[in-house]
Amino acid sequence: MMYGKKVKCLLLALCVAALVGCGSGEAVHTSAEVLEAEAELSEDGGAADGEETPAEEAEEGEPSDAGGGAEPVYEAGFMAPVEMDETLKNELAEEMLQENEMDTSVVESAPVTKGCSFTLPEAFSESEDIEGMYVTRRYPIDASTIYYVALGRDVALQLMTEETFKAQAEENFRKEYGEEIEVTIDSFESIRIDGCPAFRILCHYQVGDTQISQLEYAINADKSYVITYSQTSDYDRMEEYEASAETIHLIF
């Protein structure tokens, strides 16, 4: 049981490892109760199987891009801005992006988004224990997970490279769990989702006798959205994950 908990913690650690230290943001609520939570936020910030899962609802009364009718909606709240001069931060990030000939569109014209949506594979439903996590009926025997997080705007995310992702993930493991775990990057792609810059990262790492594979999508708009699909070597759900990833869309 303790080993299972450790694997789960390591899965979560890498889900957002590349974003740690990059700027503002924290995991957000994805339950239908978040509207009440948003109303109470202070300056400190704060699905049924196979159904299409909007990670954040459009305006009340308006249809969501993610599907129609009575399908359940998971909504996302956002933390308050960190105490930092945003203009200076953006200027420095843009300067570095230009120097490295990287995509500067997130600085120049990031669209206003209301959320991010994707369709869950049939075997998955919302976890009762962790906000934003979706698990199988046989969890934790089948430790396959899907984890969604929305973060505050972070222009510096666009500076992420394969090398910095790997280094940050391994440092995260080392600091949090005292583990020297090598993360192998299988592919690292700069893509666009609904016109916004994004990353598609496939990687794997070994925890004891268990190999864990992860497929991560990080979208950088006026907010940052990250969806991470994870599986152990005991179960191969990558085909399902790829199909789900094809349905990822921003809600405007």
Query: Any idea what the CATH number is for the domain that residue 174 is in?
Result: 3.40.1000.10
Instruction: Report whether pLDDT(23) > 50.
Output: no
Q: Is the peptide bond before 72 cis (omega within 30 degrees of 0)?
A: no
Q: Please report how many Cα atoms fall inside a 13 Å half-sphere around the Cα of residue 51, on the Cβ side.
A: 15
**What pLDDT, in 10s, does the model give residues 220-243?**
999 999 999 999 999 999 999 999
Q: Please give the tally of structural domains in the chain.
A: 1
Q: Across 14-28, 60-74, 91-105, 154-168, which has the greatest mean pLDDT?
A: 154-168
Entry pTM? 0.71
Q: Which residue has the higher pLDDT, 126 or 84?
A: 126
**What pLDDT, in 10s, does the model give residues 111-154?**
899 999 999 999 999 999 999 999 999 999 999 999 999 998 88
Instruction: Give the domain extent around 241.
Output: 2-251
State how far the Cα of 153 lies from the Cα of 156, in Å rounded to an integer: 9
**What pLDDT, in 10s, does the model give residues 29-69?**
333 333 333 334 344 444 545 556 656 444 344 433 433 33
Place of tokens 């005292």: 178
- φ and ψ at 4, to 5 degrees? -60, -40
Position 97 scores a pLDDT of: 78
Average pLDDT over residues 11-39: 40
